[in-house]
Amino acid sequence: MAREYKPQIVTANDLFEGDVVYFTASHDWVRDLGGAVVAYSKEAAETLLGHASDQQDKVVGPYLAEVVMGEDNRPEPAHFREAFRTRGPSNYFHGKQAEA
């Protein structure tokens, strides 16, 4: 049986700052996962990643990451690595958590 498809978003690191960014519906990049466009099918995810990968002048290493849909239908990280990427390191109050 085919594995059940889980919703995905496209994430990358900003070319200039190096920080974590997410791909939006208007094919732009935002700092907050909540602003990411969610792909609900494998095909939609591939298309999205294709568009994101065309933006090499803005970001580095775009890839698909699974999300779970939370309250208000906002995407939340499915894996702990992605959860850390939304916050920053745990030893100092640095990175996204300090900028929110």
Per CB under 8 A, residues contacting other proteins are 13, 15-20, 56-57, 60-61, 78-81, 84-85, 88-92, 94-96
Cβ 15 to other proteins shortest distance, Å: 7
Q: What is the residue-wise DSSP string for 70-97?
A: -GGG-EEESSHHHHHHHH--SSSS-THH
State in angstroms the smallest separation of the CB of 43 from other proteins.
25
**Joined tokens for residue 24:** 């939006």
Please, what is the minimum distance in Å from the beta carbon of residue 68 to other proteins? Answer: 11
- Fill in the DSSP letter of residue 2: P
